[in-house]
């Protein structure tokens, strides 16, 4: 499986900054040209899709933004067709599919079937990463799967370990991805807001170690439980 690289984090940070500064179209055009120049290159496809996702928060919630949102999901799908073992592309597609119907994040647009597709991506990702040496950010896959199950109103898939067991086994190592950490910490912060008791404490302890520098984590740890 192809895991997150420092170059992925740097590109995501660059594209995020480009979106805020208004020059994302130029960066995206350059990456799109590279994608068209070699349609069979999985790296070019993945870089273009990642930059599209990074630029999404700079858009509004009007129809054009929704079209860009679905275009990004399609671009991630193209990257996965070329490289089915791209961890970040599969996680990102599941994340965006969860965002569409859920209000989990910046967008809230109904799209039937997207949650079940997100669940399928996450179950595959959990199976693939389960055969690898542990990485601290793998816990985010479990957290996102739990968030998506909650949104879909379905129980966890058979055989999935309890969240507290996953949290206990998670390596206590800072993830060290300043840009992508903002994406990876989202489901943990979301779960922390609704958890109580030992589960809330465990989630808070893990996300403080892994993603403690992220503003969303700082804010989450400063709030009281919403339940």
pLDDT in tens, the chain (227 residues): 999 999 999 999 999 999 999 999 999 999 999 999 999 999 999 999 999 999 988 765 554 556 788 899 999 999 999 999 999 999 999 999 988 744 444 444 445 488 999 999 999 999 999 999 999 999 999 999 999 999 999 999 999 999 999 999 999 999 999 999 999 999 999 999 999 999 999 999 999 999 999 999 999 998 754 43
Give me the CATH code for the 6-222 domain, please: 1.25.40.10
Q: Give CA–CA dist 107/67, Å, rounded.
A: 12
| The pLDDT of residue 164 | 92
Count of CB atoms situated within 10 Å of the CB of 70:
14
| The pLDDT of residue 101 | 45
In the chain, the N- to C-terminal Cα span, in Å, equals: 38
Q: Give CA–CA dist 204/200, Å, rounded.
A: 6
Asked if 88 contacts 126 with a C-beta cutoff of 8 angstroms, the reply is no
Q: Give CA–CA dist 75/163, Å, rounded.
A: 31
Q: Which residue has the tokens 């996680």?
A: 91
Q: Give CA–CA dist 43/30, Å, rounded.
A: 14
Q: Alpha carbon of 159 to those of 11, 115, 119, 123, 126: distances in Å?
A: 36, 20, 14, 11, 11
Q: Give CA–CA dist 57/70, Å, rounded.
A: 14
| The pLDDT of residue 176 | 96
Q: Give CA–CA dist 35/169, Å, rounded.
A: 39
| The pLDDT of residue 59 | 63
Q: Indicate the pTM of the whole model.
A: 0.91
| The pLDDT of residue 58 | 74
**Does an H or E element contain 99, and which?**
helix 87-102
Beta strand segments in 65-154, E: none
| The pLDDT of residue 195 | 92
Tally helices (H) and strands (E) across the chain: 12, 0
């Amino acid at each position: 499986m192809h895991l997150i690289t420092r170059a992925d984090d740097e590109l995501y940070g660059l594209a995020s900054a480009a979106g805020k500064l208004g020059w994302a179209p130029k960066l995206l055009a350059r990456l799109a040209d590279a994608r068209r120049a070699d349609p069979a290159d999985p790296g070019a496809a993945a870089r273009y899709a990642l930059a599209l996702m990074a630029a999404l928060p700079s858009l509004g919630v009007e129809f054009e933004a929704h079209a860009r949102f679905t275009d990004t999901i399609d671009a991630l799908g193209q990257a996965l067709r070329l490289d089915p073992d791209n961890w970040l592309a599969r996680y990102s597609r599941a994340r965006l599919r969860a965002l569409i119907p859920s209000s989990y994040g910046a967008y809230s647009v109904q799209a039937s079937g997207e949650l079940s597709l997100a669940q399928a991506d996450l179950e595959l990702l959990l199976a693939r990463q389960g055969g690898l040496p542990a990485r601290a950010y793998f816990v985010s896959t479990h957290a996102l799967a739990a968030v998506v199950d909650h949104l879909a109103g379905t129980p966890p898939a058979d055989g999935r370990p309890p969240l507290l067991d996953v949290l206990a086994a998670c390596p206590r190592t800072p993830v060290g991805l300043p840009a992508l950490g903002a994406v990876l910490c989202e489901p943990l912060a979301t779960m922390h807001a609704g958890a109580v008791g030992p589960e809330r404490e465990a989630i808070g302890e893990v996300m403080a170690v892994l993603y403690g520098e992220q503003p969303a984590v700082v804010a989450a740890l400063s709030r009281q439980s919403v339940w």
